Amino acid sequence: MEEFDENTPMFAIAVAAELAFMHPQTLRQYDRMGLVIPVRTGGLSRRYTMRNVVQLREIARLSTEGVSLEGIRRILELENQNSELQQRVRDLETALANELMNRPGSRVFAAGETGIESLARGQRPARNTQVVLWRSR
């Protein structure tokens, strides 16, 4: 079964407009302006994600606060860039953790009274009372 997340394109324009409390023509205008760009199907129909709907609601909120459409476009651009960078960091952290865990017999760290101590392969902690985490074989 396919998993759905906030980036899964699933809403037709009419449904997305209803969820965002907007008219479908407004969504078309925002698409042309590059504010919220939906995924296109093979037949060129627009498919909006839950993230797109949240962005549309954010546009409405910012607009009522007096922010110009160009200001809103820049805010959304920065938010999207921030989300992409956060995902990249999570991916790199996962890759690093997997690499460390896939090294047979190598210790990750030792924790003791003085804090956390990094250990090289084959190195033992300074005191026998320390906790050591390693991957079992």
Q: Judge whether 40 lies within some domain.
A: yes
pLDDT, position 122: 65
Using only C-alpha atoms, the chain has a radius of gyration, in whole angstroms, of: 24
| Same domain assignment for residues 38 and 94 | yes
Tell me how many domains the chain contains.
2
Range of the domain at 86: 13-101
| Same domain assignment for residues 45 and 80 | yes
pTM of the model: 0.63
Q: For residue range 54-87, list pLDDT tens digits in order.
A: 999 999 999 999 999 999 999 999 988 998 999 9
**Residue 31 pLDDT > 60, yes or no?**
yes
What are the strands, taking DSSP E only, across 3-136?
39-40, 46-47, 107-112, 115-117, 131-134
- Sign of the alpha-carbon dihedral angle for 40, 41, 45, 48: negative
